[in-house]
Every structure is written in C-alpha cells, then in structure tokens.
Amino acid sequence: MANEIIVERIEQIGIARLNRPEKLNALNIETMTQLIAALERFDADAGIRCMLVAGDERAFAAGADITEMADASLTDMYYRNQFARWERIRRIQKPIVAAVSGYALGGGCELMMHCDIIVASETARFGQPEINIGIMPGAGGTQRLTRALGKARAMDLVLTGRMISAQEAFDAGLVSRIVPREHFFEEALRVCHELCTRAPLALRLAKEAVLKAHEVSLSEGLEYERKLFYMLFATDDQREGMRAFLEKRPPVFRGR
C-alpha cells in the first residue's frame, strides 16, 4: 500500500504529513484512512502530547480527490459514507496544529478547519471551490467557514469559489498565525513544542471548551467551561503549575 501520509514522531509530537505532492495532496479515501488512523494512534499514545498535520510547500491539500468522485452516483457516495471518517477527527482530544502552505482548498480547507491552531505560510491560499465543479462543500465548509468568517465572507467564498490570501484569511480569523514561507513548518513545530510544555489535561479540556462555543448558547457554554475549570482542581498538574509559579521555577507537568 502506498504511503499516502508520512508519519513521524519528534519527542512528544506526532506528525502526519500528507504525501501526494504530484496531486497537490488531494485527499483520496486511502489518504484520509491513513491520516485518521495515525491521529487516533497518536491520541491513544501516552507519550504524545500534541499533533501536527502538514502538507508541503506547494499545497496543504487541494481538496478531496476529484478522480474518485467524478463518476460517483448519489448512492455510491451515500454508501461510501466518507464523512464518518472525518467525524472521527472531531473526537481527537489532543491539540492538532496545522502547518499550511500553498493551496488549502475544498476538503483541504475543511481538513485545516478541523485542526486547532493553524500556522499558515504567507503564500497560502484558501477557498471552497466546489461550486466550480458543480457541487458544494460537504466536510463542514459551509458551517465552519461561516463560524470563522461570518456569513458575508463565507457566502462570497462558497458561492463564487474564489480563493483568499493568507493575509485575508488571517485578518478574517480563519488562521492563527502567518509566517514567511520558509518557516511555516518550523513555526508549526515550535508551537507544538510549546504545547508539549503545557499541562496535558488542561490542554484537552481547554480545547473541548473552545470547540463547545460552536455548539451551544453562551450561558450553556459558560456553565460547561466552569465545570471543566473545576475539574482541573482535581489534577496534580494544577498544584504543580501554581506551586511552580510561586516558587519561581518552570513547572513539570505529568498529565495527572
């Protein structure tokens, strides 16, 4: 079986790099199968604290693989149930950082929006061009893009299929940081190293609480946040973090 992704590990960081450069990392079924398996393995591995998903310099991913969908009927697509795989990314508890350069289009933009912190190269370009090939976003684009950019800009991207620059994406709140092209991977890795020094349980619960903001009303979200906040006072890492601060030393978090 081809290695549609390259999986590696640097200290406590699990890295999955999309590996179809000649197809601009178009996301075929095998790529998504391998990617999700890798992310789930990292999530279950006590030695991993955060994950990095990356493409290459030319493309993060230029969308779902059109060759696999060109002749598909409604029933083919329905029975393939590809979105079940995508749903599993939502259940990953550890933080996922995306390193994005070049094209992040269609399913590629949607995959990126499944990640928690998005580091983009200043040459990155984003869009939901499905409208140009007679379809519409299907892996969350209409929902996550609208939540990230607001209705007016999301409609513009989804209905015209136009791409936006990294600067526009950053100004609109779609990506977390932009950096020079030659540093996009290194900066994403640096963010991962930083996350590895944080308390692992606090990271997971904080991620869960932020994602909840997309799902519930403000008052429900605030109650949810408060419960998770209280929970962290049952952890050794809370004691360690606060003691370390008072003792003017760096904390050593154990995820307990």
CB of 107 to ligand CO8, least distance (A): 3
Q: Which of residues 71-100 bind ligand CO8 (CB under 6 A)?
A: 82
Q: Residue 124, interface with ligand CO8 (CB under 6 A)?
A: no
Residue of 16, 59, 62, 64 with catalytic role: 64
Q: Residue 107, interface with ligand CO8 (CB under 6 A)?
A: yes
Q: Residue 65, interface with ligand CO8 (CB under 6 A)?
A: yes
* Contact window for ligand CO8 (CB under 6 A) among 43-51, 65-73, 148-156, 236-244: 65-73
Q: Residue 4, interface with ligand CO8 (CB under 6 A)?
A: no
110 counts as catalytic: yes
CB of 147 to ligand CO8, least distance (A): 18
Q: 168-207 mask for ligand CO8 (x: CB under 6 A)?
A: ----------------------------------------
* Contact window for ligand CO8 (CB under 6 A) among 3-11, 128-136, 215-223, 235-243: 128-136
Q: Residue 67, interface with ligand CO8 (CB under 6 A)?
A: yes
Q: Residue 106, interface with ligand CO8 (CB under 6 A)?
A: yes
- The gap between the terminal CA atoms of the chain, to the nearest Å, is 39
Q: Residue 130, interface with ligand CO8 (CB under 6 A)?
A: yes
Q: Residue 103, interface with ligand CO8 (CB under 6 A)?
A: yes
Q: Residue 23, interface with ligand CO8 (CB under 6 A)?
A: yes
Count of residues binding ligand CO8 (CB under 6 A)? 20
DSSP readout, the chain? ---SEEEEEETTEEEEEE--GGGTT-B-HHHHHHHHHHHHHHHH-TT--EEEEE--SSEEE-SB-HHHHTT--HHHHHHH-THHHHHHHHT--S-EEEEE-SEEETHHHHHHHHSSEEEEETT-EEE-GGGGGT----SSHHHHHHHHH-HHHHHHHHHH---EEHHHHHHHTSSSEEE-GGGHHHHHHHHHHHHHTS-HHHHHHHHHHHHHTTTS-HHHHHHHHHHHHHHGGGSHHHHHHHHHHHTTS-------
Cβ atoms of 60 and 54 within 8 Å: the answer is: yes
